[in-house]
Structure 1
Amino acid sequence: MSRPTHLAVTVARRPVAIPQAHDFALSTVTLPDLAEGQIHVRNHYLSVDPAMRGWLSDAKGYADRIEIGDVMRAFAVGVVVRSRAPAFHEGDRVMGLFGWQEQAIVAPDAVMLRINADAPRLSPYLGVLGLNGITAYFGTTDVCRVQRGDTVIVSTAAGAVGSCVGQITKRLGGRTIGIAGGREKQRQCIDEFGYDAAIDYRSEADLDAAIARCCPNGVDVYFDNTSGGISDSVLRHIRIGARIAICGTAAIESWNPWPLGERPNRHLLIKRATMRGFLATDYRDRYAEAVETLSAWVDDGSLRYREDVLDGIEAAPGSIAHLYAGKNTGKLLIRLSAAED
């Protein structure tokens, strides 16, 4: 009897800078046998995230490098179709590192969230109720310790993380300024995500002057998703005791050679500011707390989100380049044929 097969996206070559479609291959692969202690998940949605560029890079990062021929590492949501692990059963809905593939055989520790059976949709658990929302929640409340009256600047403010940061900050009583690329994303920041002001960095001849207009008394908190020139400009405006969260470095195209830029040391010293990097996985034992709170806010309409959905696994290879070009208008997802919602 022939063994079942499915489609998967594998790494064809090591990308140079931003991964392109030709760096991947769409392959028909044989599903491994289900071993004792494993679960078989049929994926419904695949996530596309800026972190994928780092996972594919030769530069040392926080996660093991993906090797040539490997299935592309990715978060996904799906349904358990078979289980040989006592804690999981057929029909369980789960989110985890299941890869860019239609089906996955994984160990239970690949599961990052158990999704309630009554949840109306699965896709938000890759965005606002997944690691994007969790990152925003702990970055805002724990890392930045946003307080009422704080002036908070967020880069990639219309993105899946940034849009949540802005809305959570407003709930905490902060004043929000978003930095985004393009007039439409600038509009989204204000009209959809409730920012008090927004800056389109692409149309500003002088970003420093734009920040000064929006933050005449300086910046208390900077939620940094970009690094690079945007961060250089924001740091010139921080106030005494400012808190800076390093969540992403999307503006840096390559870390080989190591990029050179302005040094933040003097700003941090004279303003007695704190700069801290963090990952959502630092809070894995508190995910349930964040998801419960975020779910309540989504349900009552006070936390809004956008999704940009591409159909079919065939769309996955070009999706990282699509993301870095700023073409998406919400959390970027790949919907597979199994998706029910």
Structure 2
Amino acid sequence: MAKAWFLTSRPTGLPSADNFALRDLPDLPLGEDQLRVRNHWLSVDPYMRGRMNEGASYAPAYPLDTPLTGGAIGEVLESRIEGFAPGDLILHLGGWRDGGIITLDHMPRLLPVQWLDSGIKPQCFLHNMGLTGGTAWIGLLQVAAARPGDVVFVSAAAGAVGSAVVQLAKAREMTVIASAGGPEKGEWVRDLGADAVFDYKQGGVLDQLRGALTRLGKPGIDVYFDNVGGEHLDAALATANGFARFALCGMIDIYNGAAPQPLRYIGRAIAARIRMEGFIYSDLFSRYMEEFYADMGGLIASGAVQMRETVHDGLESAPTAFGGLFAGQNIGKMLVRL
């Protein structure tokens, strides 16, 4: 019998074990337009925290006392959806469970065989070939319209999205300044090719960003890829060149109820004609999917884009893995392996 995590109460601040319960799923016969799957990999992502709150957002709130959903890689065991057959590997949104029945609402999609045959691992479609890599690619190249020669500042650069941004920018001959939390993360981001890296835990972000620009002989930044908000966003405003472009991806600073930091330098958005645009991966991915797969798949195959995973084992570990996102415990993509 399959098991799933249920959200049993709305978190206040950082979610805890008390907000979740692991329960059996009913073993029902397969209906029309349904698949029975066995999940192999689960994704935990920061956006899920917003869905645990009550109220409207860009995605519906998770209902209480129903199975949670999230990205997953699974194997089809039984199919009543045309085009899917037993043995197929699929990407779908029936995560936070070890398997069971999924429907069209879970948006099942076959993993592209040509990329699996090229050696890309299935779980990569939960990060560099999926949500996080697609977010990086769309935000940097489409939303911010970054181009060779730009100076790009990336916050949370050791995370799944940030590390992809660093590598995509370097593959296109941009100068990259990155922030990361701690020596191990910073060293990895340097290995990815960032031109300057600073530890945001070791001093003010603005002073360290200005210092990095001075060392590189650059007057300011042309692109800011924001994963954090708060002090990082304010520092980017303070150091932006004229007509800089900001891709606003996620403001993890306030995901768990912390008060937003005042933006002292927001006035520069007018003086420097800064364009700031928030974006959501799901709004844009279908438009760019084939171009993204071709570009990112080629970069991975050539070694220009690398991957690192922080893996928790077993369905029971999903809430712990999720909480680790907000404690900075992941380098690269946080995954649960079943």
Q: TM-score, normalised by structure 1?
A: 0.92
Cα separation, 1, equivalents of 2:109 and 2:299? 18
Cα separation, 2, equivalents of 1:112 and 1:186? 36
Q: Which residue of 2 aligns with 1:289?
A: 291
Kept in 1: contact 2:50–2:255 (CA 8 A): no
Structure having the higher helix fraction is: 2
Cα separation, 1, equivalents of 2:109 and 2:223? 29
1:263 deviates by 5.9
Q: Deviations over 1:232-291 (max 9, x none)?
A: 1221111100000110011114458x6352266412100001000011111232323212
Match status 1:76 vs 2:72: yes
Secondary structure at the aligned position of 1:176 is classed as strand
Kept in 1: contact 2:128–2:296 (CA 8 A): yes
Q: Which residue of 2 aligns with 1:279?
A: 280
Match status 1:301 vs 2:303: yes
Cα separation, 2, equivalents of 1:158 and 1:282? 25
Q: Which residue of 1 aligns with 2:154?
A: 154
Matches within 5 A, 1:16-31: 16-31=12-27
Q: Deviations over 1:101-146 (max 9, x none)?
A: 0114222352364213461421111111111111111111101111
Kept in 2: contact 1:96–1:110 (CA 8 A): yes
Q: Judging changes above 3 Å, is the alpha-carbon distance between structure 1 residues 59 and 278 closer, same or farther for their aligned structure 2 residues?
A: same
Q: Which residue of 1 aligns with 2:212?
A: 214
Q: Which residue of 1 aligns with 2:329?
A: 327
Cα separation, 2, equivalents of 1:101 and 1:181? 31
1:333 deviates by 0.6
Q: Judging changes above 3 Å, is the alpha-carbon distance between structure 1 residues 104 and 290 closer, same or farther for their aligned structure 2 residues?
A: farther
Q: Which residue of 2 aligns with 1:135?
A: 135
Matches within 5 A, 1:153-232: 153-191=153-191, 193-204=192-203, 206-216=204-214, 217-232=219-234
Q: 1:95 aligns with which of 91, 94, 102?
A: 91
Q: Which residue of 2 aligns with 1:39?
A: 35
Number of equivalenced pairs: 329
Kept in 2: contact 1:22–1:317 (CA 8 A): no
1:67 deviates by 1.6
Cα separation, 2, equivalents of 1:126 and 1:271? 37
1:186 deviates by 1.0
Cα separation, 2, equivalents of 1:264 and 1:37? 52
Kept in 1: contact 2:222–2:243 (CA 8 A): yes
Kept in 1: contact 2:70–2:93 (CA 8 A): yes
The CA RMSD measured in Å over matched residues stands at: 1.7
Identical positions, percent:
35
Q: Which runs of 5+ in 1 are unaligned?
A: 337-341
Cα separation, 1, equivalents of 2:138 and 2:247? 10
Secondary structure at the aligned position of 2:160 is classed as coil
Q: Which has the higher contact order (CA 8 A, sep 6+)?
A: 1
Q: Judging changes above 3 Å, is the alpha-carbon distance between structure 1 residues 160 and 112 closer, same or farther for their aligned structure 2 residues?
A: farther
Secondary structure at the aligned position of 1:210 is classed as helix
1:35 deviates by 1.3
Match status 1:67 vs 2:63: yes
Kept in 1: contact 2:230–2:260 (CA 8 A): no
Greater displacement, 10-19 / 158-167: 10-19
Cα separation, 2, equivalents of 1:155 and 1:112? 32
Secondary structure at the aligned position of 2:188 is classed as helix
Secondary structure at the aligned position of 1:101 is classed as coil
Q: Judging changes above 3 Å, is the alpha-carbon distance between structure 1 residues 280 and 112 closer, same or farther for their aligned structure 2 residues?
A: farther
Q: Which residue of 2 aligns with 1:259?
A: 260
Matches within 5 A, 1:108-123: 108-111=104-107, 113-117=109-113, 119=116, 120=119, 121-123=121-123
Kept in 1: contact 2:11–2:52 (CA 8 A): yes
Secondary structure at the aligned position of 2:13 is classed as coil
Q: Which runs of 5+ in 2 are unaligned?
A: none
Kept in 2: contact 1:180–1:201 (CA 8 A): yes
Q: Judging changes above 3 Å, is the alpha-carbon distance between structure 1 residues 178 and 31 closer, same or farther for their aligned structure 2 residues?
A: farther
Cα separation, 2, equivalents of 1:261 and 1:152? 23
Greater displacement, 104-113 / 55-64: 104-113
Q: Judging changes above 3 Å, is the alpha-carbon distance between structure 1 residues 96 and 62 closer, same or farther for their aligned structure 2 residues?
A: same
Q: Which residue of 2 aligns with 1:339?
A: none
Q: Judging changes above 3 Å, is the alpha-carbon distance between structure 1 residues 266 and 32 closer, same or farther for their aligned structure 2 residues?
A: farther
Which residue identity lines up with residue 50 of structure 1 in the other structure? P
Secondary structure at the aligned position of 2:57 is classed as coil
